[in-house]
């Protein structure tokens, strides 16, 4: 397969990022440059991402980041084979900034455009880091997403489960807020949980044991709110009890998805189970899911944390994979706030 060098742009949430990646399917690829500006400080006072602030910060940062990505790669725009940008799903103002920038660069340099689905970019990232072969099972758990998917090929995914309310990272962030911890709360809860007793407070495990592999976290968050209202609690014990509940939920739902994957792909020998999204940084979650994978005959892969959280290298890599299949997009490709990867898997 021919090698492609692709410039990738990511602006769908609160990271402004640009990267240059070279490679060919199935990977691994070479990350030639990878620059990122995190808007965390801009949003921290509000305890979450404010779309208008995000869009403005993307506008201010994106040109400089693209220039830096090319300079660090020691490449000119004319050396690039294609320009890829996240075109959804995400905060529409931000998505438009990145996509319009990519279109302008593609037009000016006479290069093809790849309009990338952000979820597909997360989904293909284990191929960029480790050349993982199709098909594999992916748990994508971040502040915005919580999904279990079979990744069959570029553009072909089977959705086994998704959250019916909050994402896993969002639950971490909300519980952190209840405990008076700063945003984003996931890393702080993890640290606090290390010194807490996970059996101190009994908390619900919504959806566990149910058919399918969908998630729900809002009942858990509400239970923590009731716990913390009007009584003094031990914050470390709350953090540990909450994290233990999340681990149990992720294990139960992933086990169900592994069964679905096994019956959909009976010939896949030792398929990979891949963990992605910001929540993959959590050590307790990683080690319990790794245990489940080995118990169920799955290989276990976690891309480096820098590739698990939002970044432009994964967008550039999705561009490399799509360019290899000549899957380019017209210059009027739309920015989309919503863009599901799949319709639910057929029964
Ligand atoms: O993938 P990401 O950087 O951004 C998107 O949401 O797309 O994920 C950020 C989320 C936040 O909700 C954050 O609290 C959570 O990932 N997170 C963690 C940890 N590190 C980040 N959750 C649990 N434990 C962690 N160590
Ligand atoms: Zn993301």
What ligand 1 atom has the least distance to the C-alpha of 144?
6
Domain count along the chain: 2
Residue with CA closest to ligand 1 atom 23: 186
Helices then strands, counting H and E runs in the chain, come out as 11, 10
Report if residue 145 sits inside a domain: yes
Mean pLDDT of 116-134: 95
Whether the CB of 282 sits within 6 Å of ligand 1: yes
Question: What is the span of the domain harbouring residue 77?
Answer: 4-126+307-324
Whether the CB of 5 sits within 6 Å of ligand 1: no
pLDDT digits (tens, 9 = 90+) for 274-293: 999 899 999 999 999 999 99
In angstroms, what is the span from residue 121 Cα to ligand 2's centroid?
9
> 152 and 265: one domain?
yes
> 175 and 275: one domain?
yes
Name the residue among 233, 245, 137, 135 with its Cα closest to residue 199: 245
| Structure tokens, 263 | 């019956």
Q: Report the run of H or E that residue 178 belongs to, with start and end.
A: helix 168-178
In angstroms, what is the span from residue 74 Cα to ligand 1's centroid?
32
Residue 42 pLDDT greater than 90, yes or no: no
What ligand 1 atom has the least distance to the C-alpha of 281?
26
In angstroms, what is the span from residue 129 Cα to ligand 1's centroid?
20
What ligand 1 atom has the least distance to the C-alpha of 142?
8
pLDDT band for position 74 (cuts 50, 70, 90)? very high
> 103 and 11: one domain?
yes
Whether the CB of 166 sits within 6 Å of ligand 1: no
In angstroms, what is the span from residue 13 Cα to ligand 2's centroid?
8
> 156 and 280: one domain?
yes
> 111 and 161: one domain?
no
- Give the best-scoring range by mean pLDDT among 29-43, 46-60, 332-346: 29-43
In angstroms, what is the span from residue 106 Cα to ligand 1's centroid?
32
Report if residue 342 sits inside a domain: no
pLDDT mean across residues, the chain: 94
Residue 161 pLDDT greater than 70, yes or no: yes
Give 126's DSSP letter. H
pLDDT at residue 210, rounded to an integer: 96
For residues 318, 323, 327, 328, the Cα torsion angle rounded to the nearest 10 degrees is: 100
- CATH code, domain carrying 56: 3.30.420.40
Report if residue 219 sits inside a domain: yes
Whether the CB of 143 sits within 6 Å of ligand 1: yes
Query: Checking DSSP bridges between strand 146-153 and strand 272-276, what pairing results, if any?
Result: unpaired
What ligand 1 atom has the least distance to the C-alpha of 176?
14
pLDDT digits (tens, 9 = 90+) for 315-330: 999 999 999 999 999 9
Whether the CB of 281 sits within 6 Å of ligand 1: yes
Residue 345 pLDDT greater than 70, yes or no: no
Residue 309 pLDDT greater than 70, yes or no: yes
Report if residue 316 sits inside a domain: yes
pLDDT digits (tens, 9 = 90+) for 176-208: 999 999 888 999 999 999 999 999 999 999 999
In angstroms, what is the span from residue 40 Cα to ligand 1's centroid?
12
């Amino acid at each position: 397969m021919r090698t492609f060098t692709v410039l990738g742009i990511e602006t769908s949430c609160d990271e402004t990022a640009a990267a240059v990646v070279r490679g060919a399917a199935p990977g691994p690829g070479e990350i030639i440059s990878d620059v990122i500006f995190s808007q965390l400080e801009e949003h921290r006072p509000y305890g979450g991402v404010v779309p208008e602030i995000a869009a403005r910060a993307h506008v201010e940062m994106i040109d400089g980041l693209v220039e830096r990505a090319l300079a660090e790669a020691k490449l000119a725009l004319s050396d690039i084979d294609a320009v890829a940008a996240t075109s959804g799903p995400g905060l529409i103002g931000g998505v438009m900034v990145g996509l319009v920038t990519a279109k302008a660069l593609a037009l000016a340099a006479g290069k093809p455009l790849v309009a990338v689905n952000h979820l597909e970019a997360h989904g293909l990232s284990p191929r960029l880091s480790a050349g993982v072969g199709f098909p594999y099972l992916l748990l994508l758990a971040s502040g915005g997403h919580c999904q279990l998917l079979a990744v069959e090929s570029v553009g072909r995914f089977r959705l086994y489960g998704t959250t019916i309310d909050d994402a896993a990272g969002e639950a971490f962030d909300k519980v952190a807020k209840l405990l008076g911890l700063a945003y984003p709360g996931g890393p702080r809860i993890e640290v606090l949980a290390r010194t807490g007793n996970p059996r101190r407070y009994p908390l619900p495990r919504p959806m566990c044991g149910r058919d399918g592999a969908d998630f729900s976290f809002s009942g858990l968050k509400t239970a923590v709110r009731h716990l913390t209202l009007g009584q003094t609690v031990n914050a470390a014990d709350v953090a540990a009890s909450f994290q233990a509940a999340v681990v149990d939920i992720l294990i139960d739902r992933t086990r169900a998805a592994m069964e679905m994957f096994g019956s959909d792909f009976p010939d896949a020998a030792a398929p990979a189970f891949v963990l992605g999204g910001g929540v993959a940084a959590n050590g307790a979650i990683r080690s319990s899911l790794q245990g489940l994978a080995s118990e169920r005959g799955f290989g276990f892969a976690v891309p480096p944390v820098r590739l698990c959280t939002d970044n432009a290298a994964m967008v550039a890599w999705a561009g490399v994979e799509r360019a290899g299949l000549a899957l380019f997009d017209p210059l009027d490709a739309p920015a989309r706030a919503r863009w599901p990867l799949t319709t639910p898997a057929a029964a």
